[in-house]
Amino acid sequence: MKRLLKSFVTISALSSVVVAPIFLSAGHASALPQPTQKGTDANYVGVGVSAGVTNGGQNSDAAGIGGNVTGRVKLGDTPLSARGQLLWGEETTAIIPQISADLGIAKGTNAFVGVGYSFVEKDGKPSPLGNKDGLALTAGVESELGNSFMVYSNATVGVDAYKNSPASALSINGGLGYRFR
């Protein structure tokens, strides 16, 4: 039952990230990016590398290298965004829906901090963000590369992210995104 609930939450979170841009962009008449003084309002999906850099102290908690899929949807004219991350390693994946506060720091570049929840698909198996579900905090930067691409990097902390250990997990992530609005 617990696995079924996790699968349902996972599918719901990913569906929200995919469907939200359709509804949020329905009122815009132009397909061209809107100019901004500082920061970016880009919605994007990207892929890259994920490195778990911590160890929970148990035999099955080893840090490792994996990959990530990251997405961002700007929430209207607010400084907030809906974000999602999939961080995978050799044995399982952490699925992290988040809300972030974005701050434009240069033309086409944002710094952001976010809060969300990490759902580890297989409890007890190592992901880049620990081996159990928990609170996830993220800080990062994203920048436009021309009109169609983004580069992003972030550090995500999984609070109390290991079974049988009070340790927190740290994952460093980065990649290249495709801008869809």
Task: Look at residue 7 in the predicted model and tell me its pLDDT.
Answer: 46
Q: Does domain 2-25+38-179 have CATH number 2.40.160.20?
A: yes
CB 81 within 8 A of CB 99: yes
Domain ranges of the chain: 2-25+38-179
Give the pLDDT confidence score for residue 35 in this predicted structure: 53
Task: List phi, psi (to 5°) of 77.
Answer: -90, 10
CB 96 within 8 A of CB 118: yes
pTM beyond 0.85: no
Q: Tens-digit pLDDT profile for the chain (181 aa)? A: 455 445 444 444 444 444 444 344 444 444 545 554 799 999 999 999 999 988 766 665 566 899 999 999 999 999 999 999 999 998 899 999 999 999 999 999 999 999 999 999 988 888 899 889 999 999 999 999 999 999 999 999 999 998 888 889 999 999 999 998 7
Report which of 134, 132, 6 is spatially closest to residue 60, judged by C-alpha positions.
Answer: 132
pLDDT of residue 33: 53
What integer pLDDT is reported at residue 123 of this predicted model? 81
CA distance 103 to 38: 8
Closest CA to 64 of 74, 75, 77, 53: 53
